[in-house]
Chain A
Amino acid sequence: MSEPVKTAVRAEIEPTPLEMSAIVREHYEVVYRFCARRVGQDWAADVAQETFLTAQKALKRFRFESSLRSWLIGIALNECRSLIRKRKLFPPTIEFDLPDASASGRENAWIDRTALTKALNALSDEHRDVVVMHEIEGLSYDEIAAVIGIPSGTVKSRLHHAFINLRKSLRDEVRG
């Protein structure tokens, strides 16, 4: 977080447009991609914008109990959920840059683009969320816990179970 932003936040004043622009530059990419993976590209820009507008109003209440990034992602998650409920949206498929099953002979041939997408989609929403946040979006356990509002131990447990399920799905797929 840049110094002017820190100052504004600590002074509990509404950030100036300039300070807010600094926050957007720093975090827009993460927030946008987070939204795009939940509501799709068509809605991502709108939701990201709403996230930052909400953040602008609420920033003076930010208490440094979590990182600014996870706070923003928490707002984005709420915005996404709201839109999903309103528009009855489904999470879009996540694409992986992996070879297809036809490209055999590789050491890790049991993980294939289609199979991984399928296995990820087969996970429960709770498991899928933590996997996407940790493995793809790079959030730490504590950040995930702050965003979702669950204990860190639960994140650990969910992630572990999600991986066991993924492994099983993929192995089963290979066996046919």
Chain B
Amino acid sequence: MTERELNLKAFLDGELSEAEQLEVTEALAADESAERELQDFRELQAAFRTAVEPPVLGMERTMLALVEKKRTPWWNGVGLNVLKVALALGVAGLLLVPNQNGSLLSQLQTAAVPDTKSAEFTKSATLEKSETTAAATASTEVSSNAKALAESMLQRNSVESKTANKIPEIQGPPVDVNRLKMYAAEEALARTRGATGAAGDMAAMPAGPLPSPMGGRLRPFAPGDPSELDASRTLDQLVLAVKSIAKQYRATLVTESAISAGKGKSFVYSVLGANAIPFIRQLRLSIGQFGSVSEPRPAGAQSANPRNLARPTTADDIPLEDLEKELQALNERRVVLLTEFYEDAKPVKELDTQIDAIKKRIADAKKPKEREVAPNEKVVVQVSVMGT
């Protein structure tokens, strides 16, 4: 492209300086082809001016949109801010008020300090709250002794906290009144079920780490309780634990046999369908790595053929709704991730793998299930334990 060519269009548009215009005019006078080109450009320009103008629509609507005040919902404007401030003040107030009456928050605060791990505290506090709720339901059956014990502990805690600062110095593990209440309630429940292996004296309860309520193991550790196992347990203790749990869930022993040259034992229990899943869950929690528990199957079907397996088969079954919620949450997370990453980025790919896994589980869950077990129907559960 030459300088003259560049200037020709600009010349036509009057976008050149006077000197440049003069230069182009001279060039045009000397060059006939340039003159022809300029003429063509003129004709093209004229042709463009015949472009059909689209009819203009929507001006009134735009004006209305500009004038119209957009009404925001109260919770999306000042109301939301007021609510946030009120909530923050409320929470701050509850946390900062000294422990006068043994309120739940004060207790949680007391319980949280020794851990010094705020994240864990939050989690455990939430869990304890749920435990407390569960215990409250059962508390109608709490024995008078347990009540008295809990109350005396509550009073002690209250007195201690009155004398303490807002954030008391912790000298040793704290006594958690909610837990005591809960265990008392659980103990009462266990007694009404006729369970053996009582928790023993509550006062003797160690204040160490307590079993996680997520595992469903709400009974306290007590020395000599056969349902509590550790690595040092012998085969006899394992057998005792199994039998204890079986008794607790009114499971009837069908067969008992020795396995692995006397190092292990296998039991077949018959239990009501309604009790089957808690029974299996408790067994698995108690036995842990020292044995295995089979899936329940109808009492008539002794074989382990999968077709005979009764549903719901395991204590680990996750409801379909939960899976779908999880999938939805993952999908939402993916949308957020895609605002930062490309589709083939590592975080997105990892998330995709998780999504695929959940989808597969949902598909599996949606498959036609095997026969359901009626609550009053007997099912058979096989338990094997291996001890030292």
B52 and chain A: residue at smallest CB distance? A95
A48→B15 contact, CB < 8 A: no
Q: Is A97 an interface residue (CB 8 A)?
A: yes
A28→B54 contact, CB < 8 A: no
B41 and chain A: residue at smallest CB distance? A163
B8 and chain A: residue at smallest CB distance? A160
Against B, the Cβ 8 Å flags (1 = close, 0 = not) of A25-39 are 100110011001100
B52→A96 contact, CB < 8 A: yes
A137 and chain B: residue at smallest CB distance? B51
B52→A28 contact, CB < 8 A: no
Q: Which A residues touch B65, using CB under 8 A?
A: 49, 52-53
B47→A28 contact, CB < 8 A: no
A156→B10 contact, CB < 8 A: yes
A24→B63 contact, CB < 8 A: yes
Against A, the Cβ 8 Å flags (1 = close, 0 = not) of B38-63 are 00110111111111111111110111
Which residue of A28, A94, A160 contacts B6 across the interface (Cβ within 8 Å)?
A160
A108→B47 contact, CB < 8 A: yes
> From residue A101, how far is it (CB to closest CB) to chain B in Å?
13
- Taken together as a complex, chains A and B put the C-alpha atoms of A120 and B102 apart, in Å, by 82
- Taken together as a complex, chains A and B put the C-alpha atoms of A70 and B150 apart, in Å, by 78
- Taken together as a complex, chains A and B put the C-alpha atoms of A32 and B63 apart, in Å, by 13
A53→B66 contact, CB < 8 A: yes
A21→B5 contact, CB < 8 A: no
A159 and chain B: residue at smallest CB distance? B9
B57→A45 contact, CB < 8 A: yes
Q: Which B residues touch A98, using CB under 8 A?
A: 47, 50
Q: Which A residues touch B203, using CB under 8 A?
A: none
A44→B54 contact, CB < 8 A: yes
A33→B50 contact, CB < 8 A: no
A52→B45 contact, CB < 8 A: no
Q: Is A7 an interface residue (CB 8 A)?
A: no
Main secondary structure of the interface of B (DSSP, over half): helix
B54→A156 contact, CB < 8 A: no
Q: Which A residues touch B9, using CB under 8 A?
A: 156, 159-160, 163
> From residue A31, how far is it (CB to closest CB) to chain B in Å?
9
Q: Is B37 an interface residue (CB 8 A)?
A: yes
Q: Is A66 an interface residue (CB 8 A)?
A: no
Task: Say yes or no: A45-B58 contact (C-beta < 8 A), given A97-B50, A135-B49.
Answer: yes
A52→B62 contact, CB < 8 A: yes
B66 and chain A: residue at smallest CB distance? A20
Q: Which B residues touch A53, using CB under 8 A?
A: 65-66
Q: Which A residues touch B231, using CB under 8 A?
A: none
A36→B54 contact, CB < 8 A: yes
| Interface hub of B15, B53, B54, B65 (most chain A Cβ within 10 A) | B54
B62→A48 contact, CB < 8 A: yes
Q: Which A residues touch B62, using CB under 8 A?
A: 24, 28, 45, 48-49, 52
Which residue of B8, B43, B59, B67 contacts A32 across the interface (Cβ within 8 Å)?
B59
Q: Which A residues touch B58, using CB under 8 A?
A: 32, 44-46, 48-49
- Taken together as a complex, chains A and B put the C-alpha atoms of A111 and B62 apart, in Å, by 38
Q: Is A81 an interface residue (CB 8 A)?
A: no
A111→B47 contact, CB < 8 A: yes
Q: Is B201 an interface residue (CB 8 A)?
A: no
- Taken together as a complex, chains A and B put the C-alpha atoms of A116 and B6 apart, in Å, by 22
A-B contact list, 13 entries, CB within 8 Å: A17-B66, A32-B59, A46-B58, A48-B58, A95-B51, A96-B48, A98-B50, A116-B47, A159-B10, A160-B5, A160-B8, A163-B44, A167-B41
